[in-house]
Structure 1
Amino acid sequence: MTGPTLYHNPRCSKSRQALAILQASGIEPRIVEYLKTPLDEAALKRLLDLLHLPARAVLRKAEAVEAGIDPAADEATLIRGLAAHPQALERPIFVHQGRAVLARPPEKVLEIL
């Protein structure tokens, strides 16, 4: 995870808004379309460490339940579930200079520029 990186879903309006904010700020992040290139468990753990958040905090509840992921499960089970079902990962997530932010609302990307 080097350079500014946006974990992005181009179909998501919040994700598109975060990208537009970054571009307006002169940042052209590396785009990771995590639905096309899912994160493995190790990458998810690194991302959660940068976010300083538990897996539960980045879980899209409806998508998780739809995928058979129990939102009340333990951390390891949630990470395994997110790796197997990337649609259950909240977005967008912006990583820059060793820090990360869940960009909801999208303006949160500005917190780590």
Structure 2
Amino acid sequence: MLRIYHNARCRKSREGLQILQESGKDFETREYLKEPLSEKELSKLIGKIGIKPAKLVRKNETIWKESYKGKDLSDSEIIKAMVENPKLIERPIVETENEAVIGRPPSNIQKLL
């Protein structure tokens, strides 16, 4: 089953959602700002993408700049920051049972279809 971690206020996330809708495949939508991920869920998702946690952070967000930028943070501290501040999570993310991609550019989602 496909799942998209979605923020309806984000243009790229809406584009990713549209790609899934047009694919005709079954998928579920999780609005992660309304239903935040746990540390375990986020760690597993990062593992599926195959990146370091810092690569999933939206570094232009004010909360990042004011509270975290320039600090030497461990992977677990970065994950904790994203769990506590879901706006920091890059979007959209689409996952399958075994892998996941960041939908930036939205064409990355095609890799899972």
Q: TM over 0.5, yes or no?
A: yes
Amino acid at match of 2:64: V
Percent identity (aligned): 34
Structure 1: gaps (5+ residues): none
- The one-letter code sitting in structure 1 at the alignment partner of 2:79 is I
Give the TM-score normalised by structure 1.
0.91
1:43 has 2:41 as partner: yes
Letter in 1 for 2:108: K
- Residue equivalent to 2:111: 111
Q: How far apart are residue 23 of structure 1 and its match?
A: 1.1
Aligned mates of 1:56, 1:100 — CA distance in 2: 16
* 2:83 paired residue number: 83
Counterpart of 2:98, as a letter, is G
Give secondary structure in 2 for the equivalent of 1:43. helix
Q: Which residue of 1 aligns with 2:13?
A: 15
- CA, structure 1 residues 28+11, in 2 after alignment: closer, same or farther (shift >3 Å)? farther
Moved over 4 A (4+): none
Match of 1:99, as an amino acid? Answer: E
Long gaps (5+) in structure 2? none
SS in 2 for 1:90: coil
- Residues 1:33 and 2:31 are matched in the alignment: yes
Question: Cα distance, 1:65 vs. partner?
Answer: 1.8
> Displacement, 1:28?
3.8
* C-alpha distance 21-39 of structure 1, shift in aligned 2 (>3 A): same
Give the distance between the partners of 2:6 and 2:74, measured in 1 at CA: 26
How far apart, in 2, do the equivalents of 1:58 and 1:79 lie? 9
- Cα offset, 1:22, TM superposition: 1.1
| Count of aligned pairs between the two proteins | 111
> 1:22-68: per-residue Cα shift (whole Å, max 9, x none)?
11111242101000011111101000010001110100002242562
1:6 to 4, 7, 14: 4
Does 67-76 or 83-92 show the bigger shift? 67-76
